[in-house]
């Protein structure tokens, strides 16, 4: 089994390591990579091709794992050479994945999304997939991966990932907002204790980590929520709309050196301690 990676960030390097350990031949290219990535690739038993065109030609399964903004571009560049299965595992919207995969001329495509933390789970991380060639992609389960087919259409896997991330973002926004109200009344600590009583074990740690990462990534989350809203536009997504608004405002509040928003920052700093 020959697997080619387009792009070589955390996802590709983690999966490569696991696949090689299970006897897979892994291919990639140093084309346009940073020195750090080049060193990383050269230290691993990876077959290095001259360029991505070569990777595509030699592989049985091609996995596109690039930065979201490049997903369409790479597919357009190399899509015509692929005789294999082309899997888009990038963190992009259903609309974008459809566009990217439309450039794969042989139509052997699968949409894939990582659920949970690849850092924590390595090659065992849950991957969901959909599309005509999802079954072929899932054959990598014989080589240590944990791929689950959820449908036969391109876009289903990324829709599910987006819905899930909209849910977790909503919970974070809700937590932040309620905790802020409690904080204004000097009841923040009691509020967390109170939720702990009936929520599941580990609630406090997970709540605090959600709030902190909401603060740090408020701007990116606001942008991601715009994509969610586009996807949900035929319905009336009250909470998702409010979540988008929340992150937009939070990002402004945490950015500004503004007396009016000092309390917001104070809570954030208190929680981050």
What's the first-to-final CA gap in the chain, in angstroms? 48
Cα 166 to Cα 19, 32, 101, 162, 225: the distances in Å are: 31, 33, 24, 6, 7
The interface region with its own copies, picked from 12-20, 47-55, 63-71, 169-177 by CB under 8 A, is: 169-177
| In contact, 123 and 19? CB cutoff 8 Å | yes
The reply to whether 259 sits near its own copies by the rule CB under 8 A is no
The reply to whether 200 sits near its own copies by the rule CB under 8 A is yes
Q: Cα–Cα distance between 118 and 140 in angstroms, integer?
A: 16
Phi-psi region of 131 (alpha: psi -120 to 50; beta: other; left: phi over 0): left
**Given the complex with its own copies, which of 95 and 164 has the nearer CB atom?**
164
**Given the complex with its own copies, which of 30 and 187 has the nearer CB atom?**
187
Q: Strands 109-115 and 126-130: what pairing?
A: antiparallel
Consecutive H or E run containing 115: strand 109-115
Q: Least distance (Å) from its own copies to the CB of residue 58?
A: 33
Binding map of its own copies across residues 119-138, x = CB under 8 A, - = no contact: -------x-x----------
| In contact, 64 and 90? CB cutoff 8 Å | yes
The only residue of 36, 43, 185, 205 in contact with its own copies, by rule CB under 8 A? 185
**Given the complex with its own copies, which of 48 and 150 has the nearer CB atom?**
150
Binding map of its own copies across residues 140-159, x = CB under 8 A, - = no contact: ----------xx----x--x
Q: Least distance (Å) from its own copies to the CB of residue 92?
A: 17
The only residue of 237, 267, 268, 271 in contact with its own copies, by rule CB under 8 A? 237
Q: Which of residues 60-119 bind its own copies (CB under 8 A)?
A: 115-116
Q: Least distance (Å) from its own copies to the CB of residue 143?
A: 21
Cross-strand partners of 157: none
Cα 132 to Cα 4, 57, 86: the distances in Å are: 19, 20, 11
Give every CB contact of residue 106 below 8 A, 6+ residues apart in sequence: 82, 83, 86
The interface region with its own copies, picked from 24-32, 73-81, 132-140, 175-183 by CB under 8 A, is: 175-183
Q: Cα–Cα distance between 23 and 16 in angstroms, integer?
A: 10
Interacting residues toward its own copies by CB under 8 A: 115-116, 126, 128, 150-151, 156, 159-161, 163-164, 166-167, 170-171, 173-175, 177-178, 180-182, 184-187, 190-191, 194-195, 197-203, 231-232, 234-243, 245-246, 249
């Amino acid at each position: 089994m020959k697997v080619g990676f387009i792009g070589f960030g955390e996802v590709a390097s983690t999966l490569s390591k696991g696949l090689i350990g299970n006897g897979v031949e892994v291919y990639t290219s140093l084309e346009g990579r940073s020195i750090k990535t080049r060193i990383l690739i050269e230290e691993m038993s990876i077959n290095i091709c001259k360029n991505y065109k070569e990777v595509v030609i030699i592989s049985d399964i091609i996995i596109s794992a690039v930065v979201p903004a490049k997903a369409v571009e790479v597919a357009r560049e190399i899509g015509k050479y692929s005789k294999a299965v082309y899997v888009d595992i990038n963190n992009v919207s259903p609309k974008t994945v459809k566009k990217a995969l439309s450039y794969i001329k042989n139509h052997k495509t699968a949409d894939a999304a990582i659920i949970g933390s690849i850092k924590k789970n390595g090659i065992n991380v849950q991957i969901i997939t959909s599309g005509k060639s999802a079954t072929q992609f899932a054959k990598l389960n014989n080589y240590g991966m944990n791929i689950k087919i959820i449908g036969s259409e391109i876009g289903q896997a990324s829709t599910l990932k987006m819905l899930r991330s909209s849910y977790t973002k909503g919970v974070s926004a809700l937590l932040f907002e309620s905790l802020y109200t409690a904080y204004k009344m000097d009841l923040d600590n009691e509020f967390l204790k109170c939720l702990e009583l009936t929520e599941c074990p580990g609630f406090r740690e997970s709540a605090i980590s959600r709030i902190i990462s909401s603060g740090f990534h408020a701007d990116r989350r606001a942008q991601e929520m715009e994509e969610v809203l586009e996807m949900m536009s035929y319905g009336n997504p009250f909470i998702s709309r409010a979540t988008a608004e929340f992150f937009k405002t939070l990002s402004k509040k945490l950015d500004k050196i503004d007396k009016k928003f000092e309390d917001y920052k104070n809570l954030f700093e208190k929680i981050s301690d």
